[in-house]
């Protein structure tokens, strides 16, 4: 799966409508996400951000329109046909959604079941590497209830990318965290995008998250974020922003364009 066309489309929504409980939740949503791109999705609460991510995973089916993942139309697929596609997508649910009857190890190793089973040592190696990446190797035997909110998010990130997905979906990864922890989660998202070249959809209601993702890149040497446009550096962070309002896309484009938009709803996020 390494066809390296630079503009390869990873995820595409075409005129997606979705009604839940007689209420339109997504209305004519269209956008495209290309390889290595990170799209930040902004929107007030209940604007349909979580539902949009779940629709990309095939957890919800559009009532009309089309969703294509890695070039494959998933709209009409049966649940079993979706499993191989979902294996290439990592989803970080709001609050983590860790299985609370399992240890951190059990959670992260969960993908290596059935047809994806690995030899025991290899599985442990992969799990440890993922946990090291999020800085939580020492918590491997703990239960989710013993972890703080930020740690749970980090385990959820490890669980989502341990299967080496090409697309990561993050549902409000910074919601309810203190600013420092939120910053560390965003750093992790940028690091994952830059080091592993995965594409991402990042749902957030914080504009500063979009700012960090758009303006910084991960520097492996200093193990931290560096500004993308300073000291003569011009690093393309491949970031775009999409603004959702009551299930409709009201903006989709570069972040700098968003600052020039006049729409009152968009300005609310900027202001």
Partner 1 sequence: MPRQRQTLPNFAAFFDLAKSKVLAVQEFTLLGLRAFRNVFGRPRYLADTLIQMDVIGVGSLPIIVLTGFFTGAVLALQTSKTLQTFGEVTLTGQVVALSLVRELGPVLTALMVAGRNASGMASEIGSMLVSEQIDAMRALGTDPSKKLVTPRLVATVSMLPLLTIISDFVGVTGGFMVSFFIIRMDPVQYWTTAYQSLHFEDVFQGMIKPFIFGYIVAMVGCYFGLTTRGGTQGVGRSTTQAVVAASVLILTTDFFITKLLLALLG
Contacting residues toward ligand ADP, per CB under 6 A: 20-21, 25, 43, 45-51
Does 55 contact Mg ion by CB under 5 A? no
SS3 261: coil
Q: Is the Cα torsion angle 227, 229, 233, 236 positive or negative in sign?
A: positive
Q: Tokens in use for 20? A: 């839940």
Does 50 contact Mg ion by CB under 5 A? yes
Does 111 contact partner 1 by CB under 8 A? yes
The partner in contact with residue 20, picked from Mg ion, partner 1, ligand ADP, none with C-beta cut-offs of 5 to 8 angstroms by kind, is ligand ADP
Give the chain's radius of gyration (CA, Å). Answer: 18
The partner in contact with residue 91, picked from Mg ion, partner 1, ligand ADP, none with C-beta cut-offs of 5 to 8 angstroms by kind, is partner 1
**Distance in angstroms (rounded) separating the CA atoms of residues 9 and 3:** 11
Instruction: State residue 165 phi and psi, 5-degree precision.
Output: -75, 160
The partner in contact with residue 26, picked from partner 1, ligand ADP, Mg ion, none with C-beta cut-offs of 5 to 8 angstroms by kind, is none
Q: Give the binding range for partner 1 (CB under 8 A) out of 28-36, 51-59, 205-213, 231-239.
A: 51-59
Single out the residue of 176, 178, 169, 237 nearest to residue 203, CA to CA: 169
The partner in contact with residue 25, picked from ligand ADP, partner 1, Mg ion, none with C-beta cut-offs of 5 to 8 angstroms by kind, is ligand ADP
Instruction: State residue 74 phi and psi, 5-degree precision.
Output: -100, 0
> Using N-to-C axis directions, what is the helix angle for 179-196 and 120-133, rounded to 10°?
130
Could you tell me if 136 and 104 are in contact, meaning their C-beta atoms sit under 8 angstroms apart? yes
Distance in Å, CB of 270 to partner 1, minimum:
30
Q: Which of residues 135-174 bind partner 1 (CB under 8 A)?
A: 159
Instruction: Please identify, using beta-carbon distances, which residue of 135 and 176 lies nearer to ligand ADP.
Output: 176
Could you tell me if 213 and 200 are in contact, meaning their C-beta atoms sit under 8 angstroms apart? no
Instruction: Please identify, using beta-carbon distances, which residue of 99 and 259 lies nearer to partner 1.
Output: 99
Give the residues lining the site for Mg ion (CB under 5 A): 50
Give the residues lining the site for partner 1 (CB under 8 A): 54, 57, 59, 79-80, 83, 86-87, 89, 91, 93-95, 97-100, 110-111, 113-114, 116, 159
């Amino acid at each position: 799966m390494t066809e390296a066309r630079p503009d390869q489309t990873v995820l595409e929504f075409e005129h997606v409508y979705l009604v839940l409980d007689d209420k339109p939740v997504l209305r004519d949503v269209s956008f495209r996400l290309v390889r290595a791109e990170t799209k930040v999705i902004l929107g007030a609460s209940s604007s349909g951000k979580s539902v949009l991510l779940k629709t990309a995973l095939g957890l919800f089916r559009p009532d009309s329109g089309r969703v294509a993942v890695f070039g494959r139309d998933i709209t009409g697929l049966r649940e079993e046909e979706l499993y191989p596609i979902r294996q290439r997508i990592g989803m970080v649910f709001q609050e983590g959604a860790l299985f609370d009857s399992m240890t951190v190890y059990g959670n992260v190793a969960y993908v290596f079941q059935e047809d994806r089973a690995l030899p025991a040592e290899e599985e442990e190696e992969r799990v440890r590497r993922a946990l090291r990446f999020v800085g939580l190797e020492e918590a491997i035997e703990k239960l989710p209830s013993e972890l703080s909110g930020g740690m749970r998010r980090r385990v959820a990130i490890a669980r989502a990318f341990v299967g080496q997905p090409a697309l990561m979906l993050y549902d409000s990864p910074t919601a309810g965290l203190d600013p420092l922890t939120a910053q560390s989660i965003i750093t992790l998202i940028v690091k994952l995008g830059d080091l592993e070249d995965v594409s991402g959809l990042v749902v957030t209601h914080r504009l500063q998250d979009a700012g960090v993702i758009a303006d910084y890149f991960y520097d492996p040497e200093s193990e931290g974020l560096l500004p993308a446009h300073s000291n003569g550096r011009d690093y393309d962070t491949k970031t775009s922003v999409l603004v959702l309002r009551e299930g409709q896309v009201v903006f989709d484009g570069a972040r700098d364009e968003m600052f020039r938009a006049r729409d009152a709803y968009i300005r609310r996020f900027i202001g």
